[in-house]
Amino acid sequence: MTGVQNIAVTDDEAGMRVDRWFRSHFPDVSHGQLEKYLRKGEVRVAGGRVKSNRRLEAGENVRVPPLTSRAPVKRVAPERETENRQALASMTLYEDDDILALNKPAGLAVQGGEKQVRHIDGMLGAYEKDGVRPKLVHRTDKDTGGLLLVAKTRKAAQALADAFKGRDIEKTYWALVVGAPRPVAGEIDMPVAKRMVRIGDAGVERVVPADGEGAKQAVSHFQIIEDIGRVSFIAMRPITGRTHQLRVHAAAIGHPIVGDYKYGGDASRIEGVSPALHLFCRSMTFRHPKTGKAMTITAPITGAMKETWTFFRFDDNVTVDWPELEA
Q: Which residues are catalytic?
A: 141
Buried b or exposed e, range 130-156, using 16+ CB within 10 angstroms: eebebbbbbebbbbbbbbbbbbbbbbb
Burial class of residue 288 in the structure, from the number of CB atoms within 10 Å of its CB (0-12 exposed, 13-18 middle, 19+ buried): middle
Residue (of 318, 316, 279, 283) closest to 298 by Cα position: 283
Beta bridge partners of residue 219, listed in sequence order: 189
Q: Specify the amino acid at residue 23.
A: R
How far from 203 is each of 128, 195, 196, 213, CA to CA, in Å?
A: 42, 10, 6, 19
Q: How far apart are CA 10 and CA 67, in angstroms?
A: 22
* Residue 88: how many other CB atoms lie within 10 Å: 19
3-class DSSP assignment, residue 226: strand
